[in-house]
Structure 1
Amino acid sequence: MANENNGRHYTANEIQVLTGLEPVRKRPGMYIGSTGPKGLHHLVYEVVDNSIDEALAGICDTIKVTVFEDNSIAVEDNGSGIPVEVHPQTGKSTVETVLTILHAGGKFNNSAYKVSGGLHGVGVSVVNALSEWLVAKVRRDGKEYMQKFERGVPVTELEIIGESNTTGTTISFKPDGEIFEVLEYNLETLEYRFREMAFLNKGIKILLEDKRKNVSKKFHYEGGIKSFVEYVNKNKTSIQKQVMYFEAEKDGTTVELAMQYTDGYSENIFTFANNINTQEGGTHLSGLKTALTRTINEYGRKYNYLKEKDENLQGDDVREGLTAILSVKLKEPQFEGQTKGKLGNSETRSIVESLTYDFLSNFLEENPKDGKIILEKAINSQRARNAARKARELTRRKSILDNTTLPGKLADCQESDLSITEIFIVEGDSAGGSAKQGRDKKFQAILPLKGKIMNVEKARIDRILGYEEIKAMITAFGTGIGEEFNIEKLRYGKIIIMTDADVDGAHIRTLLLTFFYRYMKDLIDNGHIYIAQPPLYKVGKGRASYYAYSDKQLDDILKEIGRTNYTIQRYKGLGEMNPEQLWETTMEPENRILLKVSIEDAVAADEIFTTLMGDKVGPRRSFIQTNAKFVKNLDI
Structure 2
Amino acid sequence: MGLAVVNALSGRLTAEVRRDGDRWVLEYERGVAVATPARTGPADGHGTAITFRPDAEIFETLEFSFDALAERFRELAFLNRDLDITLTDDRDLAAPRAVRFRFPGGPRDRIAEQGAPLHPDVIGFEREYSDMEGTVEVAFRWCDSREERVASYANSRPTTGGGTHELGFRDGLAAALNAHAREQQLLTPSDPDFTPAQLGAGLTAVVSVKLDRPEFEGATRDRLGNGPVRACVAEAVREYLAAWLRANPAQAAAVLARISMTTRR
**2:97 partner letter:** V
* Residue matched to 1:276: 157
Tell me the equivalent position of 2:252. Answer: 371
Q: CA deviation at 1:187?
A: 0.6
* Aligned residue number for residue 209 of structure 1: 88
Quote the residue 1:138 is aligned against: 17
Q: Does structure 2 retain, via aligned residues, the 8 Å contact 1:210–1:216?
A: yes
Deviation sequence 1:480-506 (CA, Å, 0-9, x none): xxx5xxxxxxxxxxxxxxxxxxxxxxx
1:307 to 165, 185, 188: 188
What is the distance in 1 between the residues matched to 2:26 and 2:243? Answer: 55
- Flag the structure with more relative contact order, 1 or 2, with Cα contacts below 8 A and sequence separation at least 6: 2
- In structure 2, do the counterparts of structure 1 residues 335 and 215 end up closer, same or farther at CA, with 3 Å as the change threshold? same
**1:212 partner letter:** R
Whole-angstrom CA distance in 1 between matches of 2:32 and 2:224: 35
Q: How far is the alpha carbon of 1:205 from its aligned partner?
A: 0.3
- The structure with the greater share of residues assigned to helix is 1
Give the equivalent residue in structure 2 for 1:127: 6
Q: Which amino acid aligns with 1:330?
A: L
- Note if contact 1:254-1:328 (Cα within 8 Å) is conserved in structure 2: yes
Pairwise mapping of residues 378-393 of structure 1 onto structure 2 (< 5 A)? 378-381=259-262, 384-385=263-264
The letter for the 2-side match of 1:348 is V
Q: Which residue of 1 aligns with 2:178?
A: 297
Aligned residue number for residue 65 of structure 2? 186
Inter-partner Cα distance in structure 1 for 2:32 and 2:171: 51
Deviation at 1:338, TM superposition (A): 6.8
Kindly state the Cα deviation for residue 344 of structure 1 after the two structures are TM-superposed.
0.4
Contact 1:276–1:340 (8 Å) recurs in 2 = no
1:152 aligns with 2:31: yes
Q: How far has the Cα of 1:250 moved from its partner? A: 1.9
2:108 corresponding residue in structure 1: 226
C-alpha displacement at 1:327, in angstroms? 0.8
Aligned to 1:240, the other structure's residue is in SS state coil
Aligned counterparts of 1:208 and 1:239: Cα–Cα separation in 2: 34
Q: How does 1:321-340 map to 2 (within 5 A)?
A: 321-337=202-218, 339-340=220-221
Alignment of 1:38-437 (within 5 A): 46=1, 123-213=2-92, 214-231=96-113, 233=114, 236-251=115-130, 252-337=133-218, 339-381=220-262, 384-385=263-264
SS, match of residue 223 in structure 2? coil
- Choose between structure 1 and 2: higher strand proportion: 2
Q: CA deviation at 1:311?
A: 2.9
- The amino acid that maps onto 1:183 is L
In structure 2, stretches of 5+ residues that fail to align are: none
> Secondary structure of the equivalent of 1:350?
helix
SS in 1 for 2:213: coil
SS at match of 1:166: coil
CA distance in structure 2 between the partners assigned to 1:277 and 1:225 by the alignment? 14
Between the aligned partners of 1:333 and 1:154, the Cα distance in structure 2 is 29
AA matched with 1:260: R
Structure 1 residue 339 displacement after superposition: 3.3
What is the deviation of 1:301?
0.8
Q: 1:147 to 1:308 in 2, by over 3 A?
A: closer
Offset from partner CA, 1:153-202 (integer Å, 9 cap, x none):
33333222221121111111110111101111111100110000000001
Say which SS state the counterpart of residue 203 (structure 1) adopts.
coil
The alignment's TM-score, normalised by the length of structure 2, stands at 0.93
- Corresponding residue for 1:497? none
Secondary structure of the residue aligned to 2:27 is strand
Q: Which amino acid aligns with 1:369?
A: A
Identity of aligned residues (%): 37
Residues of 2 paired with 1:273 and 1:155: CA distance? 34
Write the deviation string for residues 358-400 of structure 1: whole angstroms up to 9, x where unpaired: 101111000101110111011000xx33xxxxxxxxxxxxxxx
Structure 1 spans left out of the alignment, 5+ residues = 1-45, 47-122, 386-482, 484-636
The 2-side partners of 1:312 and 1:126 are apart by 47
What is the aligned residue count? 260
SS in 2 for 1:170: strand
Once residues 189 and 320 of structure 1 are traced to their aligned partners in structure 2, the CA distance between those partners, rounded to angstroms, is 29
Q: What is the CA RMSD across the aligned residues, in angstroms?
A: 1.5
For 1:299, what is the secondary structure of its paired residue? helix
CA distance in 1, matches of 2:97, 2:179: 51
CA distance, structure 1, for counterparts of residue 85 and residue 243 of structure 2? 35
Indicate conservation of the 8 Å contact 1:207/1:217, yes or no: yes
